């Protein structure tokens, strides 16, 4: 998280350095800093309003008190979105549909999740629902072979809904615990992508009307405000049930997580902190903010 950290802890530390009290000028600089980190104008203003109101009621208005209160407010902002993904014993296979625009990290996150679930003792199967790119199918197949995780795939250009339907049936027959379905991030147009996803969901529901049990939107946190726009669009079109935010390791714009938390009433399940297979964390508000403010 070094770059997010640079903006938050370094930026904030520099801002408060050598100041003995919190004044208007300092607040304005803090506001600019949070907006630059993509916390968003409204979210930043709400945060600062809350902080100044709280602190006016306090005797000690030192910068230290202020930063501690800011950190606490950031934790509070995220805490309501800290809702982990849980599998119920009766739901088998648990169907997890991964969606998101191209390059956000869907396939990478599928690998990370598959490994994690497997380590928890669950059986996992993957569906190569991104049939738009031949390379996407191979990417999943190769990964599955290497990790002894079965991958249900057809040829490129095949119907994504039918691949996922087949995989769901196979997963049922084989009594698999978790089926994770990959989908395309890009089709000819955004409308055709949304239509395809709707069709995938419709077809899955022919087998089980409660499935997919999770429609997980994968967002690239490093693209800032665009991630929020994407989330709104996907949620309107297909109904998202959980979020994974990726690339929080390599970004100065990680502040978007606060904006997303404030704007969207959606659980944040996982955060991606790198390209490696183990670089995925269950989202925890306090751990996350503490890491953001941690010294290098
Ligand atoms: N730094 C960093 N890179 C990541 C993370 N997650 C994914 N990536 C990288 O992002 C790039 C795209 O990842 P993919 O998993 O292929 O993305 P995708 O959403 O499946 O993309 P499409 O299949 O094109 O729709 C790869 O180079 C990944 O290594 C993360 O948490 N941190
Ligand atoms: Mg992919």
- What are 106-136's pLDDT values in tens digits? 999 999 999 999 999 999 999 999 998 889 9
**Atom 22 in ligand 1: which residue has the minimum CA distance?**
102
Cα-to-centroid distance, 110 and ligand 1 (Å)? 10
Tell me: the pLDDT tens digits for 136-189? Answer: 999 999 999 989 999 999 998 999 999 999 999 999 999 999 999 999 998 888
Ligand 1 in contact with 286 (CB < 6 A)?
A: no
Eight-state DSSP code of residue 221:
G
Ligand 1 in contact with 100 (CB < 6 A)?
A: yes
Q: Are 106 and 98 in contact (CB under 8 A)?
A: yes
Cα-to-centroid distance, 176 and ligand 1 (Å)? 26
Cα-to-centroid distance, 108 and ligand 1 (Å)? 5
Which of 2, 103, 127, 256 to probe ligand 1 with, by most ligand atoms within 8 A of CB? 103
Quick one: pLDDT at residue 2?
Answer: 53
Distance separating alpha carbons of residues 192 and 169, to the nearest angstrom: 25
Distance separating alpha carbons of residues 275 and 115, to the nearest angstrom: 14
Q: Which atom of ligand 1 is nearest to the CA of 111?
A: 15
| 275, pLDDT greater than 90 | yes
Q: Are 148 and 93 in contact (CB under 8 A)?
A: no
Which of 3, 104, 105 to probe ligand 1 with, by most ligand atoms within 8 A of CB? 105
Q: Are 4 and 33 in contact (CB under 8 A)?
A: no
Residue tagged 């350095």 (tokens): 17
Ligand 1 in contact with 107 (CB < 6 A)?
A: yes
Distance separating alpha carbons of residues 137 and 280, to the nearest angstrom: 22
Distance separating alpha carbons of residues 123 and 210, to the nearest angstrom: 20
- Name the pTM for this structure: 0.93
């Amino acid at each position: 998280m070094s770059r997010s950290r640079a903006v938050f802890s370094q930026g904030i530390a520099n801002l408060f350095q050598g100041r003995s009290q919190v004044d208007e000028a300092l607040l304005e600089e803090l506001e600019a800093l949070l907006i630059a980190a993509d916390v968003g104008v409204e979210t930043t203003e709400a945060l600062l309003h809350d902080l100044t109101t709280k602190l006016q009621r306090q005797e000690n208005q030192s910068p230290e008190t202020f930063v501690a209160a800011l950190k606490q407010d950031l934790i509070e902002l995220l805490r309501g979105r800290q809702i982990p993904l849980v599998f119920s014993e009766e739901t088998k296979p648990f169907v997890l549909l991964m969606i998101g625009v191209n390059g956000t990290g869907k396939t990478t996150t599928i690998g990370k999740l598959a490994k994690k679930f497997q380590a928890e003792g669950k059986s996992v199967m993957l569906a190569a629902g991104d049939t738009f790119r031949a390379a996407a199918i191979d990417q999943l197949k190769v990964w599955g072979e290497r990790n002894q995780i079965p991958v249900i795939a057809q040829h490129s250009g095949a119907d994504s809904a039918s691949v996922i339907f087949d995989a769901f049936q196979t997963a049922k027959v084989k009594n698999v615990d978790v089926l994770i379905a990959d989908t395309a991030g890009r089709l000819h147009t955004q409308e055709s992508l949304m239509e395809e996803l709707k069709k995938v969901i419709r077809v899955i529901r022919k087998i089980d009307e409660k499935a997919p049990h999770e429609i997980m939107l994968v967002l690239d946190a490093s693209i800032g405000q665009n991630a929020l726009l994407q989330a709104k669009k996907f949620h309107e079109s297909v109904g998202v049930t959980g979020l994974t935010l990726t690339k929080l390791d390599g970004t100065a714009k990680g502040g978007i997580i606060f904006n997303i938390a404030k704007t969207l009433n959606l659980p944040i399940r996982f955060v991606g902190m790198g390209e490696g297979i183990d670089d995925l964390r269950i989202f925890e508000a306090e751990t996350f903010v503490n890491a953001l403010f941690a010294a290098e």
